[in-house]
């Protein structure tokens, strides 16, 4: 049974995170930027001339590691899934920097016995020297087997604010990207070495016909869609990217991103794998400067 007090007060050490221009380019390649190497916009992320960092790269910086695996948390780690990701960029990421990440458990919500629980971990990224804050990341995890923990003491936090539903009208912008067959093998070099994304035997054991793409790679592709379809590859205009993960993605597929303009600085987003007729990202929010 999930131990609310232990989890809510979990002590995370500060995580130093330094990255280079090479790391920024590798991340961009891992989410498919550079697949059109003559596109001047894409080259701004994969070539050192006028290099920009992709805003969603903040998602991979300063992770606290698999803390929920610790037996004292009471969490059934095998039933844990990454449900949503929400990145707010307060200052555009430089192509290379030394940062400090600070993580804390923001909330734990009991949905009820048989309905699971929700844990929100908040991460803040600071410049190691100036202490200026670059980004805030909300990592929202669904604990499918841990509902009912509040029965003992009645303690449960309010649910995180739900991402708004997509508008019921045709999209204003559509962008499609192929997922390279080797996409997961490239993306994992940015730090997520889970064998589920590389080893066919591990994928089969997990119930998938082949290794799947990292969810945060799909999330990064959503940012690429906004960069291409909305802001002409100007990374400084992206201030928030948020979305719910609704289905795994397989390398070799093509993803279609629908975007709706909901105001001068707000775009809604949804992503489809049309060959399987599934939505892979939903309730997406893109906020612009």
Active site residues: 192, 197
- Return the SS3 of 187: helix
Give the list of residues 6+ apart from residue 222 with CB closer than 8 angstroms, or none. Answer: 56, 241, 243, 257, 269, 271, 281, 284, 286
Q: Which tokens is 36 given? A: 């059109």
Strand order across the beta sheet in which 173-178 lies: 15-19, 97-112, 116-127, 133-143, 80-89, 238-245, 278-288, 266-273, 254-263, 173-178
Query: How far apart, in whole angstroms, are the C-alpha atoms of residue 17 and residue 55?
Result: 16
How far apart CA 35 and CA 19 sit, in angstroms, is 23
Residue 66 φ/ψ, nearest 5 degrees: -80, 60
Q: Residue 89: in which H helix or E strand, if any?
A: strand 80-89
Reported as type and span, the H/E element at residue 44 is helix 40-46
- The two tokens of residue 109 are 């919500």
Angle between helices 21-30 and 215-229 (to 10 degrees): 90
The residues, ordered by sequence, that sit 6+ positions from 281 with a Cβ below 8 Å of its Cβ are 218, 219, 222, 243, 244, 245, 246, 269, 270, 271
Computed on alpha carbons and rounded to an integer, the radius of gyration of the chain in Å comes to 19
Strand, helix or coil for residue 221: helix
| Nearest in space to 230 (alpha carbons), one of 177, 174, 176 | 174
């Amino acid at each position: 049974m999930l131990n609310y007090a232990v989890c809510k007060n979990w002590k995370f050490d500060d995580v130093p995170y330094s990255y280079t221009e090479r790391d920024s380019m590798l991340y961009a390649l891992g989410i498919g930027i550079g697949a059109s190497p003559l596109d001047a916009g894409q080259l701004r992320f994969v070539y050192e001339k006028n290099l920009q960092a992709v805003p969603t790269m903040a998602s991979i910086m300063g992770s606290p590691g698999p803390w929920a695996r610790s037996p004292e948390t009471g969490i059934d780690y095998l039933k844990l899934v990454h449900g949503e990701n929400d990145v707010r960029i307060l200052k555009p990421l430089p192509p290379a920097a030394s940062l400090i990440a600070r993580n804390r458990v923001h909330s734990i919500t009991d949905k009820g016995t048989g309905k699971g629980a929700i844990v929100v971990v908040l991460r803040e990224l600071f410049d190691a020297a100036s202490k200026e804050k670059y980004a805030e990341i909300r990592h929202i995890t669904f604990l499918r087997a841990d509902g009912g923990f509040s029965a003992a003491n009645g303690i449960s936090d309010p649910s995180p604010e739900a991402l708004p539903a997509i508008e019921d009208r045709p999209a204003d912008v559509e962008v499609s990207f192929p997922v390279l067959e080797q996409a997961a093998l490239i993306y994992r070099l940015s730090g997520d070495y889970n064998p589920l994304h590389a080893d066919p035997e591990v994928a089969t054991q997990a119930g998938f016909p082949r290794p799947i793409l990292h969810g945060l790679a799909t999330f990064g592709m959503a940012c690429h869609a906004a960069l291409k379809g909305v802001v002409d590859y100007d990374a400084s205009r992206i201030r928030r990217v948020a979305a719910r993960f609704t289905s795994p993605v397989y390398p070799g597929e093509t993803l279609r991103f629908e975007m709706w303009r909901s105001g001068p600085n707000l775009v809604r987003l949804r992503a489809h794998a049309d060959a399987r007729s599934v939505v892979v990202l939903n309730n997406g929010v893109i906020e612009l400067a």
